[in-house]
Chain A
Amino acid sequence: MHRREGLAKLTGRERYVDDLPLDDFLWGATVRSPASRGRVTAVRFGRGIDWSQFVVVDSQDLPGPNEILLIERDQPVLAAGYVRHVHEPVLLLAHRDRVALRRAVAAVTIEVAPEPAALDFRVPPRPEQIQYGADNVLKHLRIEKGDVERALATAPVVVEGVYETGAQEHVYLEPQGMIAHMDGDVLVVRGSMQCPYYVVKALTHALNRDEQHVRVVQTPTGGGFGGKEEYPSTIALHAALLALKSGRPVKLVYDRTEDMAATTKRHPARVRHRTGVTRDGKLVAQDIEVVMDGGAYVTLSPVVLSRGIIHAAGPYACEHVRIDGRAMFTNAVPFGAFRGFGAPQTHFAGERHMDVVAHRLGIDPAELRRRNLLRDGERTATGQVVNDGTDRVAVLERALALADYDKKRAANKAGGTTRRGIGIATFHHGAGFTGSGEVMLSSRVDVAGLPDGRIEVLSANIEMGQGTITVFTALAAARLGLTPDDVVVAEADTARVPNSGPTVASRTSMVVGRLVERACDDLRRRVNTGGRGKGEGLKRAIMDWHRAHPGGRLVGSATYERPPGIAWDDHTYTGDAYGAFAWAAYIAEVEVDLRTYTTRVTDFVAVQEIGKVLHETFARGQVQGGVAQGIGWALLEDCKWQDGAMANAQLTNYLIPTTEDLPPIRVAFLENPYPHGAQGAKGLGELPIDGPAPAVLNAVADALGVEPTTIPLTPERLMEIAERGARNAEQRRQ
């Protein structure tokens, strides 16, 4: 089955939030803080503008608490006299003419009496920089297994390393935007988002409305990658405040620069590894310290940190593990959800470090991984027994064979002004919410039988390119023996769909897809076909039911149930962190130009075990897109900070890969069905962003015989490292 909405997208018929027809509306805009921290001493409205023509909203206009409801309530909807980061929203304006509005925004001056800002998460804050708790630590988490200190003390070899990853901008191609208007006494907000019910919660809280008076509708979403997980709540609130005050529909759509400058990015991180190994390469102890930059508000940092540390030890067996994680407050624009959710940062460090260990021991990096990959029956860092029957070594072997690793590794380097190298990453990604998260979400999906015999899948999980609509259609059709045209997937409109949880954490196909199947089963039970009716028989039964119950609603539904035998302890951080992990081995081949130190990825092999491939084209597309994003993060994507603001908030200066920057990405799947996922599927969306960066850097290490530790590995940085290495070698020889 091809993408259900694919032709609408290809022909431009699909309407995104900025495309929706709207009558008699106002454009909204945000006036932001110019400073990283301080008291707002004045807001000046410039001369030459008739301000009476503008709707102006500030923090005083909030009907409810000035809080964006998320994990904590520390982030204001609009700064109330005090700002904590550059670009923090202070004021909202609306006007019917967009150009007039732009001029007005430029004419507002926000004056701030500056106070000392904390801008480097890697150094302990000075007393005057402390703004959160006693030490600016937003969250501290720890995983402990065995006795790391003892194991390290007796380990034959201990290898240390410090690894750093930079912020990454999502660059979903559709910038963020929302439309708000009143429909009677119901506030309606439409827009680009991943989590309609997060937006509902944020609106009801800060606007002091109940759920009956708030309706959120997701519009086709032009990419999210996590960037439209929590941030849309802010824009929704802003649009809503302007609509409430003006009594008119308000459209608030960011341009690219505002989107890049003001919205969230991937958390920068620093990870330190101290690893004890035997001489033949068996891991005996992993001591890992993770520090992430959370930015100026808590947002999702605690859960990003959590996923980060849970993945930090890699897919390896090791008796003694300690992982200490902290997310730091800084006066940076808050960092947030981004595909991978902390795991890419820790996997980068872990997988880069594995090669450093291999080089130290003189063992081939592939062999080192072979010796340590988890075997069934062994335990992860949190003590989760892995027993899924997947042969993780076979995943690696498949990748090695596809990449022709042994031959390439022996043959590489050589050649005039270029050097070639090949690098591996083996890694895993837990699908669904961490620990008890899914239980707490208690997601529900409905499947309705319609009077014409078709069925409608109702969920809050949205399509943003990953294929939700098509996959849900296929799952429901298969379950009920219907054709795809007998299945409708409802628009994610909170007035109609139940809360099936957010579209994040690679959970949609696996977790929610399973609920779709179960809701289909429930529907069949309800139409009372004796459990046998499928296909045409079922359609007839549905139509009969409606004839018997005119005007009635025939709905099957399913609510999440924890798979048996899963246990997680949130206090000790032990137990089954995820219902299932997807497993992968990625191999990159690179060519480095010694004149310019530009690195070109010349081949990329991505092999993964994901339970069951629900849709070959989509699955391949997810992997290729994730790999592309990972290669960008590894080599190109460099957020430049100036006084807490992103200095290169333009696509001209923040470079993402073009067609010419990527090789064809070769993808292969292994399948080992997961009994609690839809048709056996495990999550796939995030996995592919975890592996490319370490694989690429390991390939560069192989090519040049250096150990780069920081991404993005720009040519400037690589030249510095390579030539410093050469200079040092020179000195040693002398």
Chain B
Amino acid sequence: MITLAFTLNGAPATVEIDPADRLLDVLRERLGLTGTKEGCGEGECGACTVWLDGLPVNSCLVPAYQVRGARVHTVESLDPAALEPLLVHGATQCGACTPGVAMTACWIVGHPEILASHSLRELLAGNLCRCTGYDGIVAGVQAALDAGARA
């Protein structure tokens, strides 16, 4: 076991980990933060998306030992009010993809300048959803962006 200290959702965190743990395992099993989901364990589905030093990454592909000293944000850190547009536009159905979608969505909303070079659909391509056909997600993120632009 090794000791891992990092910043989790804005607060310092220390946890004993096995060197073979993925960040996903540490969050879910060792810290009980089960909001982050495992949909595939192969980097394809994005259900495990968290922000690592401000960028969305698949926590199933992050060796836990690499986050020492880093900033990690999980779905548990999101402001429910900010998620309202996603709720309203039908961005969630079964909800299994949803925490990952919410992480990518809020990251986009927090960095609207990225849309100068990237389309919403390109930025969301790493979050597979089998329920919505994506229209509800795209509409929800767009609405959140519009709300952000007005604010």
In chain B, what residue has the closest Cβ to A664? Answer: B135
Once bound together, how far apart are the Cα atoms of A726 and B150, in whole Å? Answer: 56
Distance (Å) between the CB of A266 and the closest chain B CB?
14
List CB contacts (< 8 Å) of B74-127 with chain A.
74-76, 78, 80, 83, 86-99, 102, 120-122, 124-127
Q: Check if A172 sits within 8 Å of B87, measured CB to CB.
A: no
Question: Are B133 and A10 neighbours in the complex by a CB distance under 8 Å?
Answer: no
CB of B39 closer than 8 Å to a CB of A: yes
For A21, the chain B residues whose CB sits under 8 A away are 32
On whether the beta carbons of A19 and B34 are closer than 8 Å, the reply is yes
**Residue B151 lies at the interface, judged by CB distance under 8 Å to chain A:** no
Check if A12 sits within 8 Å of B130, measured CB to CB. Answer: no
Whether B39 pairs with A225 at a CB distance below 8 angstroms is: no
A172 and B90 contact, CB distance less than 8 A: no
A629 within 8 A of B: yes
Q: Residue-by-residue, is A219-236 near B (CB-CB < 8 Å gives 1, otherwise 0)? A: 011111100000000000
Interface residues on A, range: 35 or more
Taking A5-B95, A225-B130 as contacts, is the C-beta distance between A11 and B87 under 8 angstroms?
Answer: no
Chain A residues positioned under 8 Å from B126 (CB to CB): 658
Q: Does B59 contact A (CB under 8 A)?
A: no
Closest-by-CB residue of A relative to B78 is A11
Docked Cα-Cα span, A5 to B138, in Å, equals 20
- Residues of A close to B135: CB separation below 8 A: 620-621, 624, 664-665
Is B72 interfacial (CB-CB < 8 Å)? Answer: no
On whether the beta carbons of B92 and A173 are closer than 8 Å, the reply is: no
In the complex, the answer to whether A16 meets B96 with C-beta atoms within 8 Å is: yes
Whether the Cβ atoms of A172 and B125 lie closer than 8 Å is: no
Q: Are the CB atoms of A465 and B95 closer together than 8 Å?
A: yes
- A280 near B: Cβ within 8 Å? no
Number of interface residues of B (CB under 8 A): 55
Q: Find chain A residues with CB under 8 A from B134 CB.
A: 624, 628, 659, 662
Q: Are B94 and A617 in contact (CB under 8 A)?
A: no
B35 touches A628 (CB 8 A): no
Report how far A11 CA is from B33 CA in the complex, Å. Answer: 11
Cβ A11 vs Cβ B76 within 8 A: yes
Q: Tell me whether A10 and B87 are in contact (CB under 8 A).
A: yes
Tell whether B53 is near chain A: CB-to-CB under 8 Å. no
Contact B121 A624 (CB under 8 A): no
Check A12 against B39 for contact (C-beta < 8 Å).
no
B75 and A11 contact, CB distance less than 8 A: yes
Q: Give bound CA distance, A256 to B47, whole Å.
A: 12
Does A278 lie at the interface of the complex (its beta carbon under 8 Å from any beta carbon of B)?
no
Minimal beta-carbon separation of A557 from chain B (angstroms): 29
> With A5-B95, A7-B83 in contact, is A465–B37 under 8 Å at CB?
no
Contacts of B34 in A (CB 8 A): 12, 15, 18-19
- B64: shortest Cβ distance to chain A, in Å? 14
Kindly list chain B residues whose C-beta atoms are within 8 Å of the C-beta of A658: 125-126, 128
Closest to B29 in A: A98
- Report how far A650 CA is from B45 CA in the complex, Å: 11
A656–B128 touching, CB < 8 Å = yes
Bound together, the chains give a CA A627 to CA B28 distance in angstroms of 33
List residues of chain A with CB within 8 A of the CB of B36: 12
Say yes or no: B41 contacts A256, CB within 8 Å: yes
Interface contact B40-A621, CB-CB below 8 Å: no
| Shortest Cβ distance from residue A21 to the other chain B in the assembled complex, whole angstroms | 7
A732 at the interface (CB under 8 A from B): no
Whole-angstrom distance between the alpha carbons of A628 and B136 in the complex?
12
* Contact in complex: B80, A223 (CB < 8 Å): no
Q: How far is the CA of A5 from the CA of B87 in the complex (A)?
A: 10
Contacting pair B80 A256 (CB below 8 A):
no
Minimum CB–CB distance for A141 against chain B, Å? 31
Q: How far is the CA of A330 from the CA of B109 in the complex (A)?
A: 51
Specify the chain B residue showing the minimal Cβ separation from A222: B96
Say yes or no: is A570 at the interface (Cβ < 8 Å to chain B). no
Does residue B57 face the partner (Cβ distance < 8 Å to A)? Answer: no
Which of A5, A12, A172, A225 is within 8 Å of B99, CB to CB?
A12
Q: Mask for A618-641, Cβ within 8 A of B = 1, else 0? A: 101101111111000000000000
B149 at the interface (CB under 8 A from A): no
Residue of A nearest to B81 (CB): A7
Q: What is the CB-to-nearest-CB distance from A263 to chain B, in angstroms, rounded to a whole number?
A: 14
Q: Does A255 contact B (CB under 8 A)?
A: yes
B42 engages A2 (CB within 8 Å):
no
Check B96–A621 contact: CB distance below 8 A.
Answer: no
Does A3 count as interface, using CB distance less than 8 angstroms?
yes
- Whole-angstrom CA separation of A623 from B90 in the bound complex: 12
Q: What is the bound-complex CA distance between A697 and B78, given in angstroms? A: 42
Is residue A239 within 8 Å, beta carbon to beta carbon, of the partner chain?
no
Closest to A688 in B: B133
Nearest-CB distance from B21 to chain A (Å)? 10
A724 at interface by CB-CB < 8 Å: no
| Distance between Cα atoms of A618 and B94 in the complex (Å) | 11
A664→B45 CA distance, assembly (Å): 20
Q: Does chain A have a CB within 8 A of B1?
A: no
Decide if A173 touches B35 in the complex (CB within 8 Å): no
For B87, give the chain A residue with the smallest CB separation: A6
Which A159-183 residues sit within 8 Å CB-CB of chain B?
170-175
A450-467: CB near B (< 8 Å → 1, else 0) gives: 000000000000001111
For the complex formed, measure the closest distance between the CB of B52 and the CB atoms of chain A, giving whole angstroms: 17
Tell me, yes or no, whether B61 is within 8 Å of chain A by CB: no
The reply to whether A2 and B93 contact each other, CB–CB distance below 8 Å, is: no
- Contacting residues, chain A, for B28 (C-beta < 8 A): 19
Q: Which residues of B contact A225 (CB under 8 A)?
A: 130
Q: Are A656 and B130 in contact (CB under 8 A)?
A: yes
Contacts of B86 in A (CB 8 A): 10
A333 to chain B, nearest CB (A): 19
Chain B residues near A660: list those with CB within 8 A.
121-122, 125
Q: Is the CB of B131 within 8 A of A465?
A: yes
A255–B42 alpha-carbon span in the complex (Å): 10
Smallest Cβ-Cβ distance to A255: which chain B residue: B41
**Given the known A-B contacts A99-B20, A223-B131, are A6 and B40 also in contact in the complex, defined by CB atoms under 8 Å?**
no
Report whether B95 and A172 are in contact in the complex, using a CB–CB cutoff of 8 Å: no
Residue in B closest to A658 when the chains form the complex, CB atoms: B125
Q: CB of B44 within 8 A of chain A?
A: yes
CB atoms of A659 and B138 under 8 A apart: yes
A651 CB-CB contact with B under 8 Å: yes
With A19-B34, A99-B20 known to touch, is A171 a contact of B78 (CB < 8 Å)?
no
Knowing A19-B34, A662-B134, say if A222 contacts B95 (CB, 8 Å). yes
Query: Across the interface, which residues of B come within 8 angstroms of A170, CB to CB?
Result: 130
Residue among A18, A175, A659 with max Cβ neighbours from chain B (10 Å): A659
Contact A621 B132 (CB under 8 A): yes
The minimal Cβ–Cβ distance linking A296 to chain B, given in whole angstroms, is 26
Question: How long is the Cα–Cα vector from A665 to B76 in the complex, in angstroms?
Answer: 31
Q: Is A73 among interface residues, defined by CB-CB distance under 8 A?
A: no
- A389 CB to closest chain B CB, in angstroms? 30
- Do B41 and A10 have beta carbons less than 8 Å apart? no
Chain B 46-65 interface 0/1 with A at a Cβ cutoff of 8 Å (1 = within): 01000000000000000000
Instruction: Name 5 A/B residue pairs within 8 A (Cβ), A-sorted.
Output: A7-B80, A7-B87, A12-B76, A12-B98, A173-B129
Given contacts A13-B35, A171-B128, 13 further A-B contacts (CB under 8 A): A10-B78, A11-B83, A173-B45, A173-B97, A174-B39, A255-B41, A256-B40, A466-B93, A617-B88, A624-B133, A625-B132, A651-B45, A662-B134
Top 3 A-B residue pairs of the complex, sorted by shortest distance between their CB atoms:
A12-B35, A222-B96, A465-B94
Chain B residues with CB under 8 Å of chain A are 20, 28, 32-42, 44-45, 47, 74-76, 78, 80, 83, 86-99, 102, 120-122, 124-138
